[in-house]
Amino acid sequence: MNGRGVGAPVDLDATSAPLVTVDVDERRLAWAYLSRVVEGPCPALSALIAQVGVVEAARAVRECDLPESLRGPTERRREIDRAERDLETMARVGGRLITPDDPEWPQWRLLGLTQLDPARDVDAAVPLALWARGPLSLQQYTEQSLAVVGARCSTGYGEQATAELAGELAAHGWTIVSGAAFGIDGTAHRAALAVGGFTVAVLACGVDRPYPAQHERLLAEIAETGLVVSEYPPGATAYKHRFLARNRLIAALSEGVLVVEAGVRSGARNTAKWARRLGRPALAVPGPITAAASVGCHRMIRDREAILVTRLEDIHDEVGPLRLSLPTGAGSEPDLSGDQAAVFAELPVVGSRLPRQIADASGLAVASVRAALAGLEVTGLVGADSSGWFRTVRKSG
């Protein structure tokens, strides 16, 4: 390492990099090329891109016109350029490459990763780009998102707890982020899907590869209504070290990490550790002391690495959005009628809902729900953010 720029916060806003006139496709091809060259986080390359722009960085890598610190990480694959083919492969499976150039790049969520020290941990870096399948905007649906992760060898108890908590969270507008693994991860994704909520699966392999293979159908379902995301290019295999880098992404894309069951050496503990490094809450669900699957959760709680939570209210206390609570007059319920009353009744006391969800629950048409919400907003009873609509006043009495 010659240290130039490396270690300093990386400027994610690519427009501030010296922009020569290159067309969008050339930039996208450069991102795709570099994404395969390093396959995973590479703080030195991120720093170079921030400095000279992605197209120039790609040229420099190709021609090995590089500082010492980047020769090693790029040497092995710099001659492999499958950028075009990779983008085509993704298009074929209905996927895309999300880069810092794109509006759906989750810049704010990933900002935390730029604050870490890459000298201490090579994974402590922003991903170069993300490969994705699914209709959701990565930026929008990770604004109110919680990671729910845990043991592959889960118990019936752990699965029940996951289904209840993840289901409730998803019903309250939280996007459930997880790793699509057996056990708790899979249960968390399914719980979100079951309530018509949103879920994001972050993989340690290419998003065109179902991993684990037995979750092919689950991943297809997530890709249909949510998002399957990876920083590894199409076809990439799920190697062990990639799971660790993947865990940091799960944490980085979430407001906090909830661990439901975890053995002593669980990957879920690693994900929770990333949350703490990012300054976000790590939460853990306790279980019977007789169950090996809960040992990791108990250890984390005991060692103050995680906060014990048992229900939605506990989780909201730690990661809930800060919302204005305007007290109404002496103990009075808002005096509403018609659609407004019906719509207000369907808004949860804590958390938010989308118009579609309110329509489903109330039996009103989505247009009527929208009209009622607009009226309620004027009176100050409800508000909206990217996660949906919420009450600004609490039910009293």
Residues that bind a second copy (CB under 8 A): 157, 160-161, 285-290, 294-295, 298, 301-302, 307-311, 314
- Taking the complex as a whole, how short is the minimal distance between the CB of residue 165 and a second copy, in angstroms? 9
Q: Of the two residues 318 and 377, which places its CB atom closer to a second copy in the complex?
A: 318
User: Peptide bond preceding 281: is omega within 30 degrees of 0, i.e. cis?
Assistant: no
| Whether the Cβ atoms of residue 348 and residue 327 lie closer than 8 Å to each other | no
Minimum Å gap between C-beta 351 and a second copy is 19
- Residue 307 or 373 with smaller CB distance to a second copy: 307
Q: What gap in Å lies between CA 132 and CA 231, rounded to an integer? A: 9
CB nearer to a second copy: pick between 110 and 149 = 149
Q: Which is nearer to a second copy, 13 or 317 (CB)?
A: 317
Residue 13, helix vs strand vs coil: coil
For residue 308, the minimal CB distance to a second copy (Å) is 5
User: Of 61, 57, 83, which Cα lies nearest the Cα of 73?
Assistant: 61
State the minimum distance, in angstroms, from the CB of residue 193 to a second copy.
22
User: Which of 390, 305, 306 minimizes the C-alpha distance to 350?
Assistant: 390
Nearest distance from C-beta of residue 35 to a second copy, angstroms: 41
Which amino acid is located at 66 in the chain? L
Shortest separation between residue 316's beta carbon and a second copy, angstroms: 13
How many CA atoms lie less than 13 Å away from 237 in the CB half-sphere? 2
Nearer to a second copy, 36 or 269 (CB): 269
Number of helices (H), then strands (E), in the chain: 17, 11
CB-nearer residue toward a second copy: 133 or 298: 298
For residues 105 and 116, is the Cβ–Cβ distance under 8 A? Answer: no
Residue of 249, 244, 259, 256 whose CA lies nearest to 228:
249
